[in-house]
A and B are shown apart, each in its own frame.
Chain A
Amino acid sequence: MTTDKQTLLRVEDLVKHFPIYRGVIRRKVGAVRAVDGVSFEIKQGETLGLVGESGCGKTTTGRTILRLYEPTSGHVYFKGQDLAHLKPEEMRKARKDIQIIFQDPYASLNPRMTVREIIGEPMLAFGIASGKEIDDRVAELLDLVSLDHNYASRYPHEFSGGQRQRIGVARALAMNPSFIVCDEPISALDVSIQAQIVNLLEDLQKELNLTYLFIAHDLSMVRHISDRVAVMYLGIIVEIANRKDVYVNPLHPYTQALLSSIPVADPKFYEEHQRIILEGDVPSPANPPSGCRFRTRCPIADEHCAEVQPVLREITSGHFVACLKVTPIDDQKEVIN
């Protein structure tokens, strides 16, 4: 574990609700509770994997941390500042240090800009370099992500998906950030290219001492890249622990079902293992179930689960679970939330 390292980012009770308006006067009639009270920490140099199914709020969490969405409430402490309450100009400055890599390398690069303009834009925007300096830095960054620096004058359409994602990585690195939100950076790529990008991210992390929040739905890739893993369901974290605890000893019934549904590239596995198949779909985040949000699909839920909303409790050291059916071995240690 990385307990000796410093905490770089601490998210406290982060909430992001998207209002729903109806009628002629656009009256607010409800809210999509995309992120509904999320707390976690990321240590310097660590990778926290954030997994969950579509609509669980993982991407919204990443974007709200960067204030690409304004948080409804909560705190995001980063290097001693609360990002959630910074003034716009202060936030702009803070963004030098926190960057994001997006999922779709086709949509996240401006098709009318050359690679040099795309990667150089953050430097221009912050006024830290100009002219020749930018050219040199762009060439250096392209080398860093293993692209030929002669490509600087080309446009995004001349590149393949994997190469575009490398350009996205180079842009994120341009300001020497210490923290990068990787929002499903490999989901849109082919299998043989995914491994290339994951290796690149790992090499860069070692070389530049980067800290990652790695958001993904591919559980096997998250297992590969993460030090710790948080599992989200309907806007809340249901389990968070170091990688090994989550994958070897998952305690929340949702994590167990999620892990059980990963397709395994080994036909023998299917002869020896019985999979847990959940029934039904994820309920709407505009109207989540009472009590435990997972109870409508949970194989072990009872009436009690409909009444009480479970909070994250530390079950074993560093292993937090939000489930009424999972109790700590020693007395109740209420932590976080």
Chain B
Amino acid sequence: MANQLLNVRGLETQFNTPEGIVHAVNGVSFTLDEGESLGVVGESGCGKSVTMLSCLKLVPIPPGKIVAGNAFFKGEDMLTMDSDEIRKVRGAQISMIFQDPMTSLNPVMSIGNQMAEPLMLHMGITKEQARKRSIELLEMVGIPQAADRLKDYPHQYSGGMRQRVMIAMALSCMPQILIADEPTTALDVTIQAQIVDLVKRLREELGMAIIWITHDLGVVASIANRVSVMYGGFIIEESPVKDLYAEPLHPYTIGLLNSLPKINREERQRLYSINGMPPMLFKKPKACPFAPRCEFVKDHCWQENPVLESYGRGGHRVACWVDVTTGRER
């Protein structure tokens, strides 16, 4: 059994907005083992990014507020750490890459200086050592003429190259967990394939654990061992990757998979579509958040919110009152 790195329990995060309180994350629990690759899938506003930002205390407070929960990293609750303690975790042991590599890099600082900063801070090495290490890191992520390119600024790099730099920086202190928040969404498909391939290779070489946040079920299939599907601030299904695609158990997951055009389908068929739209979350859902859009909905679904429970094969858990294989309540 691999060692557990991360154990998040009952996390709840809210945002105070002019329109009212938004219940972004409503009690999320998950774990991550050493060397594991977890995919977190969901549409915009489902709480997937906020969950990870909350764990690292990166949610701006105010307007954000972590209302409840714990996030244990190797047994220590990150949510109760003070700012000095959490800074030692962030970047050094858990690092994060974001969707837009242009806005995540400082435009008026050379790549070399940006890369040296966390190295000198976390690893306590000299500027010259940091420079050498930066060159190694850039070579590792496949940037040609790395030594020459250190003095360049972010605008002199292409989108794919900038994301490579972000990855190099995130890996510079050899973290145990890399959280990737939609790192390929802003990139073209051929560049996306390069980045996915790079992260997979680096994970094998360095043995770190990955949390890959995305809305793209295709990308997850290629990179994750285990997948969590989020909806309305809850994890509604969690499963080893193959089982999720072969036998999805939650009506929302089924709907998402069916609404993708099938690559091997010859005839033009109407796409399956999920009616309605995702919830606004101005109220904390008391019943199943997916009930208004669900094809299998029963009376019970409007009254009580189901919790994640194990069904089917090992490690497959779903939060649904209905057994989709029979269409009846469990």
Contacts and interface: CB of A to CB of B under 8 A. Distances in A.
Interface in A187-223: 190-196, 198-199, 202, 217, 219-221, 223
Contact of A265 (B190, B191, B217): B217
B241 to A, nearest CB: 5
Interface of B: 43-44, 158, 160-161, 188-194, 196-197, 215-222, 241-242, 245, 255-257, 259-261, 263, 266, 268, 270-274, 277-278
A281 B221 contact: no
B277 A160 contact: yes
What's the interface size class on A, roughly? 35 or more
Interface string A160-195: 101100000000000000000000000000111111
Given A191-B43, A277-B197, A281-B161, A219 B189 contact: yes
A326 interface: no
A21 interface: no
A258 B259 contact: no
A278 B197 CA distance: 11
A224 B218 contact: no
Given A190-B215, A270-B222, A277-B197, A265 B192 contact: no
Contacts of B192: 261, 263
Contact of B160 (A266, A267, A281): A281
B194 A277 contact: yes
Contacts of B277: 160, 162-163, 192-193
Nearest to B160: A281
B218 A262 contact: yes
Contacts of B191: 53, 281
A84 B302 CA distance: 58
Given A196-B273, A202-B270, A263-B221, A217 B242 contact: no
B255 A223 contact: no
Interface of A: 53-54, 160, 162-163, 190-196, 198-199, 202, 217, 219-221, 223-224, 244, 247, 257-258, 260-270, 275, 277-279, 281-282
Among A190, A198, A268, A277, residue most surrounded by chain B Cβ atoms (within 10 Å): A190
Contacts of A261: 189-190, 192-193
Interface of A is mostly: helix
Contact of B271 (A54, A219, A224): A224
B221 A270 contact: yes
A291 to B, nearest CB: 20
A257 B190 contact: yes
Nearest to A202: B270
B270 A263 contact: no
Given A192-B274, A195-B274, A267-B245, 20 more contacts: A53-B189, A192-B256, A196-B274, A198-B271, A224-B261, A244-B266, A260-B193, A261-B189, A261-B192, A262-B189, A262-B263, A263-B192, A263-B196, A264-B218, A265-B221, A265-B245, A265-B257, A281-B158, A281-B160, A281-B161
B242 A195 contact: no
B222 A277 contact: no
A6 to B, nearest CB: 22
23 contacts: A54-B188, A190-B43, A191-B216, A192-B43, A192-B259, A192-B278, A194-B259, A196-B273, A198-B271, A199-B271, A202-B270, A217-B189, A220-B260, A221-B261, A261-B189, A262-B218, A264-B218, A264-B221, A265-B217, A265-B221, A265-B245, A267-B222, A267-B245
